């Protein structure tokens, strides 16, 4: 249901710097950033230094702690929620006054990962952020309700359902009943703990992000956002665009589109890209002739006569009923990963010949629980801003127009979850396009089945200082797979523009694997 992106804690927690040094660093950084511009009236957000929950590599430095934000902004005296914040410090002797503020995707994902995965995730962050940190600090934080932030909105009840259902396929009715029980239990537990589901939304996330920057003394900053985080970033531009120097939006999710309405089109569009590129490539065309027709035959066959099989190994081992819908979904999951795109024609061809396992490995799980996602927050945001605002007629029309790809939406858990999940009401004005004169770099992957390039084009129409780069062989979150995309992002933040000749190889289609 959520838009991706887009990881028992045995976490080492050494202080990046001693507490006294951290306090001094916080004062120094606040002074440097605050000197950049006259101070506007900022929200009363507080930063409290503390130990880091990850290892800081030798020769690097970080400032860690929490920022307190009000649970409710419409009530005086509202209790505070603590958000964990890590500032990966610049290697420059005098860092630029405007840091880079990162906005994670999801909704419900943490930039730090969870458990033992945190160390590996942070190793990637140190390497990925090094070009930015030659001149600026980089700010990472967990949004409210996510990861280590308050409140805890995870639904372990759903994770338990997933574990229990790994050994055998179950019917849609059985799965829906198990999910309903788990969701009701989670919602009741969170309500008993005082959680207000209406306080999880894109506007609230934007205000929290602004508070994080303010608490660290950053009058101006640069945004780097991916997937759902781009929607939060656009909302920041709508609200306080004057504080944003530049923005890099990777895999753009503008507020005036609804992924629920476009589910069938999104699926058809990705497969259309694949089949056209294969047909245009001599090697792919020769190895996999009539790939589209044979794939559609496979979908029809499996929809009539599903195949039961077991995929994965050890902890990932699970039973799967392979239907036409799950085959379509499996291909989309593979195409959402840039590195997997070249193998998709071969995966489809093997499945056509009855060798289902390799493609079935990509089939999404048939339960809702995800230990890497803050389920409660994800449900609150998605119900409020996608499911409950979707147009049933538009969705039904898309299912018919783009058959059989509309099958992927036939068992969408969104409507049945949101019938019972407490969520706020989205104001119509939130769904308007965002107009801003801030310099913005938009990055898209041609194979992205989640946030397609057309959405980047749509956002660009009201961003007059934007530049949109589309990478023909890439998919979701381009900066994770394309070195040139990351280099372009760094250049853009430094110079507020990129050369006309940037990333000359971006227009090359994928090189498909043979049989």
In this predicted model, what pLDDT tens digit does every residue of 63-92 receive, in sequence order?
999 999 999 988 887 889 999 999 999 999
**CB of 497 within 8 A of CB of 466?**
no
- Secondary-structure class of domain 45-151+196-250 per CATH: alpha beta
Of the chain, the percentage scoring pLDDT greater than 90 comes to: 75
Q: Which of 17-26, 311-320, 371-380, 431-440 has the lowest mean pLDDT?
A: 17-26
pLDDT above 60 for 24: no
- Distance set, CA 114 to CA 160, 255, 373 (Å): 18, 29, 10
pLDDT of residue 180: 87
Q: Using CB atoms within 10 A of its CB, is residue 505 exposed (0-12), middle (13-18) or buried (19+)?
A: exposed
pLDDT above 90 for 29: no
pLDDT digits over 233-265, tens only?
999 999 999 999 999 999 999 999 999 999 999
- In this prediction, residue 320 has a pLDDT band, given cuts at 50, 70 and 90, of confident
Q: d(Cα 434, Cα 459) in Å, to the nearest integer? A: 7
- As a whole number, mean pLDDT of residues 296-325 equals 90
Closest CA to 211 of 348, 101, 127: 101
The single residue listed with the structure tokens 């009000």 is 70
pLDDT digits over 77-134, tens only?
788 999 999 999 999 999 999 999 999 999 999 999 988 889 999 999 999 999 999 9
pLDDT above 90 for 28: no
Q: d(Cα 210, Cα 44) in Å, to the nearest integer? A: 11
Closest CA to 135 of 245, 54, 296, 254: 245
pLDDT of residue 495: 96
- As a whole number, mean pLDDT of residues 181-195 equals 91
Instruction: Kindly state the tokens that stand for 491.
Output: 């250049």
**CB of 463 within 8 A of CB of 254?**
no
**Is pLDDT larger for residue 189 or for residue 413?**
189
Closest CA to 469 of 482, 432, 480, 233: 482
pLDDT above 70 for 398: yes
- Distance set, CA 261 to CA 374, 386, 387 (Å): 24, 8, 9
CA contacts within 13 A on the Cβ side of 406: 11
Q: d(Cα 68, Cα 49) in Å, to the nearest integer? A: 11
pLDDT of residue 22: 33
pLDDT of residue 367: 62
- In this prediction, residue 35 has a pLDDT band, given cuts at 50, 70 and 90, of very low
pLDDT of residue 170: 65
Q: Kindly provide the b/e burial profile for residues 465-497, where b requires at least 16 CB atoms within 10 angstroms of the residue's own CB.
A: ebbbbbbbbbbbbbbbbbebbbebbbbbbbeee
Q: Which of 31-40, 146-155, 498-507 has the lowest mean pLDDT?
A: 31-40
Closest CA to 249 of 436, 86, 469, 437: 469
pLDDT of residue 318: 81
Tell me the pLDDT of the chain averaged across its residues: 88
- The total number of residues shown for the chain amounts to 515
Q: DSSP of 21-71, one letter per residue?
A: HHHHHHHHHHHHHHTTS--------EEEEE--SSPPPTT--EEEEEEEEES
pLDDT above 80 for 21: no
- Distance set, CA 33 to CA 63, 208, 473 (Å): 15, 19, 39
**Residue 291 neighbours by CB under 8 Å, 6+ apart:** 275, 278, 279, 284, 345, 348, 349
pLDDT of residue 166: 56
- The sign of the torsion formed by the CA atoms of 46, 231, 144, 137 equals negative
**Per-domain residue ranges for the chain?**
45-151+196-250, 154-194+258-427
Q: Which of 1-5, 195-199, 226-230, 274-278 has the lowest mean pLDDT?
A: 1-5
**Is pLDDT larger for residue 368 or for residue 266?**
266
- As a whole number, mean pLDDT of residues 152-171 equals 73
**Is pLDDT larger for residue 364 or for residue 487?**
487
Q: d(Cα 359, Cα 398) in Å, to the nearest integer? A: 25
- Cis upstream peptide for 175 (omega within 30°): no
pLDDT of residue 15: 28
First to last CA, the chain: 33
- Distance set, CA 509 to CA 115, 253, 341, 447, 475 (Å): 37, 23, 10, 10, 11
pLDDT digits over 407-416, tens only?
988 778 888 8
- In this prediction, residue 366 has a pLDDT band, given cuts at 50, 70 and 90, of low
- As a whole number, mean pLDDT of residues 345-352 equals 98
pLDDT of residue 77: 79
The single residue listed with the structure tokens 């969701």 is 183
Instruction: Kindly state the tokens that stand for 179.
Output: 């999910």
Q: Can you name the residues that pair with 308 across neighbouring β-strands?
A: 321
- As a whole number, mean pLDDT of residues 150-178 equals 76
pLDDT of residue 74: 84
């Amino acid at each position: 249901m959520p838009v991706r992106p887009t990881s028992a804690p045995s976490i080492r927690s050494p202080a990046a710097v001693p507490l006294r040094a951290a306090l001094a660093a916080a004062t120094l950084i606040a002074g440097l950033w605050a000197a950049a511009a006259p101070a506007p009236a900022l929200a009363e957000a507080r930063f409290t230094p503390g130990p880091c929950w990850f290892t800081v590599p030798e020769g690097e430095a970080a400032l860690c702690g929490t920022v307190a934000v009000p649970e409710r902004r419409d009530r005086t005296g509202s209790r505070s929620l603590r958000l964990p914040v890590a500032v990966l410090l610049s290697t420059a002797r005098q860092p630029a006054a405007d840091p880079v503020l990162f906005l994670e995707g999801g909704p419900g994902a943490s930039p730090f990962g969870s458990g033992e995965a945190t160390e590996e995730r942070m190793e990637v962050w140190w390497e990925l952020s090094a070009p930015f940190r030659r001149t600026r600090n980089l700010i990472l934080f967990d949004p409210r309700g996510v990861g280590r932030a308050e409140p805890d909105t995870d639904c372990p009840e759903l994770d338990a359902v997933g574990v229990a259902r790994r050994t055998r396929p179950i019917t849609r009715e059985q799965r829906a009943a198990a999910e309903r029980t788990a969701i009701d239990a989670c919602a009741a537990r969170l309500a008993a703990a005082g959680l207000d589901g209406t306080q999880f939304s894109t506007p609230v996330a934007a205000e929290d992000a602004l508070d994080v920057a303010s608490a660290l003394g950053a009058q101006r900053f640069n945004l780097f956002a991916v997937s759902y985080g781009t929607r939060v970033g656009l909302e920041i531009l709508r609200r306080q665009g004057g504080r944003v120097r530049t923005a890099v939006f990777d895999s753009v999710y503008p507020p005036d589109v609804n992924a629920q309405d476009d589910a069938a089109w999104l699926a058809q569009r990705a497969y259309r890209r694949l089949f056209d590129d294969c047909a245009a490539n001599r090697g792919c065309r020769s190895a996999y002739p009539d790939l589209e027709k044979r794939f559609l035959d496979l979908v029809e066959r499996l929809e009539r006569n599903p195949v039961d099989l077991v995929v994965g190994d050890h902890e990932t081992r699970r039973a799967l009923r392979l239907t036409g819908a799950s085959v379509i979904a499996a291909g989309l999951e593979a195409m959402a990963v840039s590195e997997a795109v070249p193998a998709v024609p071969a995966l489809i061809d093997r499945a056509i010949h009855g060798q289902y396992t390799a493609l079935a490995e990509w089939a999404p799980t048939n339960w809702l629980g995800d230990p890497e996602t803050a389920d409660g927050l994800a449900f609150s945001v998605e119900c409020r801003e996608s499911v409950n605002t979707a147009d049933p007629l538009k969705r039904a029309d898309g299912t018919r127009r783009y058959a059989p790809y509309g099958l992927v939406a036939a068992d969408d858990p969104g409507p049945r979850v949101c019938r019972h999940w407490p969520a706020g009401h989205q104001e119509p004005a939130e769904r308007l396009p965002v107009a801003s004169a801030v310099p913005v770099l938009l990055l898209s992957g041609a194979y992205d089945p989640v946030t397609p390039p057309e959405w980047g084009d749509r956002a660009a129409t009201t961003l007059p200082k934007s530049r949109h780069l589309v990478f023909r062989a890439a998919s979701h979150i381009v900066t994770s797979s394309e070195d040139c995309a990351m280099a372009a992002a760094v250049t853009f933040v430094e110079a507020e523009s990129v050369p006309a000749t940037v990333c000359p190889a971006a227009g090359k289609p994928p090189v498909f694997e043979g049989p």
